[in-house]
Every structure is written in C-alpha cells, then in structure tokens.
Amino acid sequence: MSGIEPVSKNGPFWTYEDGSVRIVINRKWCKGCEICVAFCPPETLEMEGDKAVVKDLGSCTKCLLCEMRCPDFAIAVTDLSKPDPKKPADSSGE
C-alpha cells in the first residue's frame, strides 16, 4: 500500500484525519471510477486496486472537488478548522 494508513477502519468506512481535515471513504460505495483522483488538484488521493485511498492527507486543500464529483457519494471531506454548523453556539447566558 502506497497511501497512508487510515486512523480508523469501521466496516466500509475508512477515515483519514490529521486535525485540520477529515476524509472518509465508503469503500462499499466506491466503484473505482477514479473521478475523485482525477479531479484532486494536489493529488491527495490515489487508487489502491479498485478503491480510492488517501495518499497525502497534508496536501488536501479542502476544495471538495473529490466529494462533489463522486457519482456514488463515496467520499466526504470535513474541514476541521471551521466550527461545526450543527453544534449550537456557546449559550453561556452572557
């Protein structure tokens, strides 16, 4: 394997994370079309056999082109440096 090791392998969900970005690839949904790899400007992704994997997480610019172009919704990118919009704002009462 030439890519980096995922921080977690939960069934088909392989998660890569470094504190600033999280990339989750659903290997069950990935059909190996290579579209995510082709559209990734910094070449963060590569193919390992017939599935996409992360080659260099540090190079990810969080442009989301891989996520937007995946026809099977098999990849999700989260910018961990931005606040989570699902969490309520601090409601300390002040």
* The residue type at 23: I
- Span 25-43, average pLDDT: 96
- Span 16-35, average pLDDT: 96
Q: Per-residue DSSP letters for 8-50? A: EEETTEEEEE-SSEEEEEETTT-----HHHHH-TT--EEEETT
Cα(15)–Cα(13) distance, rounded to whole angstroms?
6
Report which secondary-structure segment, H or E, holds 77. strand 75-79
What is the pTM for the complete model shown? Answer: 0.84
- Span 61-79, average pLDDT: 97
Residue 90 has pLDDT above 70, yes or no: no
Q: Which domains does the chain have, with CATH numbers?
A: 8-79 (3.30.70.20)
Ramachandran bin of 2, using left for φ above 0, alpha for ψ from -120 to 50, beta for the remaining angles: alpha
Confidence bin at 83 (pLDDT 50/70/90) = confident
